[in-house]
Amino acid sequence: MSGGLLVAGTTSDAGKSVVTAGICRWLVRQGVKVAPFKAQNMSLNSFVTREGAEIGRAQAMQAQACRVEPTALMNPVLLKPGGEQSSQVVLLGKPVGELSARGYHGGRQQQLLGTVLDCLAELRGTYDAVICEGAGSPAEINLRRTDIVNMGIARNAGLPVLVVGDIDRGGVFASFFGTVALLSPEDQALVAGFLVNKFRGDVSLLEPGLDMLHGLTGRRAYGVLPFRHGLGIDEEDGLRVSLRGTVRESAVSPPLGEDVLRVAVCAIPLMSNFTDVDALAAEPGVVVRFVDRAEELADADLVVVPGTRGTVRALEWLRERGLAEAIARRAAEGRPVLGICGGFQILGEHIEDEVESRAGSVDGLGLLPVRVRFAREKTLTRPVGEALGEPVEGYEIHHGVARVGGGEPFLDGCRVGQTWGTHWHGSLESDGFRRAFLREVAAAAGRRFVPAPDTSFAALREEQLDRLGDLIEQHADTDALWRLIESGAPQGLPFIPPGAPA
């Protein structure tokens, strides 16, 4: 078997990433050697593989669903937005430059098609099946000519296409029909059918619509996945201006101690790897929320300044909103503050940036004795170490090089009182260290909070991936999916007018 499938979507956030992960976990439980693939990903949530390559975190999680090590082959092109108009292009795990959207879609994207196809071919030569994820919608007719992630990759690699639609948003039937009807005859021939995501209620009420859709398009539904709370993998959305009010889902279990612990994450511009706080949200009794107003820090027991693709811009934003002053006041009062990567740089004394923002010399918040100079070469490593008497693993993704001039050592950074800073992403996923850190935070905050002694973040991740596999196994037509992956799109699928414009 050397099968493949492209999971496309009617929109961004339709559920492509989770469906891909679910199909991967279902297949691996059937004894299939499977790998994920996303030709081009736009995300500020990224991960470092063991060979030192940067890829999207969603593909790293999908690799975990496959029970294989993630590699650069699984996400050959990663775009990291630096604003509304430009992105850093990461090719095979290494940054190769900054491009405007016009410059990328105007020619560079098509030049990468050969590299993308080579990576997919190498994976297909190694694994029994490769489950590919598209991006946005395959019916972006303005971008079809240069597309390398949706129908462009499907056409060149002969992949059948499954279109996922989020029925919770409404309009799913029109979205399914319109997606097919805006594709060329050659592209339509590869679209095998549909998968409904996030359905609530009695499926029998949906079936007449699915039958009508089949009659209109000649394409069947491969399943209806029910809505489930708390399911998902690491998010890709890298351009949210603010996540204020968004609360990370916490464990259902009540706190072990008498108090909960409140964590406020500053929703800074171009926030990256905000998935770092998922490990905190997994702890019973820890409530994590994103904030963008100074007054929202008042009742927080811990404030986190997360990573960012725009350190200087985020620093200016914190000052404009009064958050910088509120954070400094907290630090002076001995109330816990944690800076991660770009957030760590912001907490330092001075930033010299001729690379990311080209702002030159900028004063930081001065809460940690750290001076940062931005280097053109990006640091991409998987460090291991110890902190608070516990082993810690993490990964680093940054241009800023920190020179620490004092304080107590903390991972590769430092702490002064209850202000902590490190470049290490993912450190809070180390269970013993996370518990030790939360005990320090609770003591400093005066909270009678006790971390659970048995929370395993890795086990929770595995449980989540198994639940995604269960969704596919229980609510999709897996026999039909298997045939699709193994044999390709059915022959003789009808053309739905009008098709793509000339």
**How many CB atoms are closer than 10 A to CB 469?**
21
Q: Is residue 425 flagged as an active site residue?
A: yes
- The number of CA neighbours under 13 Å toward the Cβ of 355 is 18
Asked if 61 contacts 233 with a C-beta cutoff of 8 angstroms, the reply is yes
Asked if 302 contacts 266 with a C-beta cutoff of 8 angstroms, the reply is no
Query: Which of these is catalytic: 398, 399, 423, 425?
Result: 425
Picking from 38, 35, 39, 58, the residue whose alpha carbon sits closest to that of residue 47 is 58
Which residue type, as a one-letter code, is found at position 303?
Answer: V
Give the β-pairing of 413-416 and 419-422. Answer: antiparallel
Query: Which of these is catalytic: 341, 399, 414, 423?
Result: 341
Give the β-pairing of 419-422 and 337-340. Answer: parallel
Give the β-pairing of 161-166 and 191-199. Answer: parallel
DSSP string of 233-300, one letter each residue: --------S--TT-EEPPPSSPPSSSS-EEEEEE--TTEE-GGGGHHHHTSTTEEEEEE-SGGGGTT-
Picking from 488, 376, 468, 502, the residue whose alpha carbon sits closest to that of residue 16 is 468
Picking from 284, 363, 278, the residue whose alpha carbon sits closest to that of residue 324 is 363
Asked if 274 contacts 300 with a C-beta cutoff of 8 angstroms, the reply is no
Q: Which residues on adjacent β-strands are paired with residue 163?
A: 8, 194
C-alpha 198/C-alpha 210 separation (Å) is 15
End-to-end Cα, the chain, rounded Å: 37
| Cα angle, residue 276 at apex, residues 74 and 304 outer, rounded to 5° | 150
Q: Is residue 341 flagged as an active site residue?
A: yes
Which H or E run includes 213?
helix 207-217
| 498 upstream amide cis, omega within 30 of 0 | yes
Locate 255 and state its tokens.
Answer: 């706190």
C-alpha 66/C-alpha 25 separation (Å) is 6
Looking at the annotation, which residues are catalytic? 341, 425
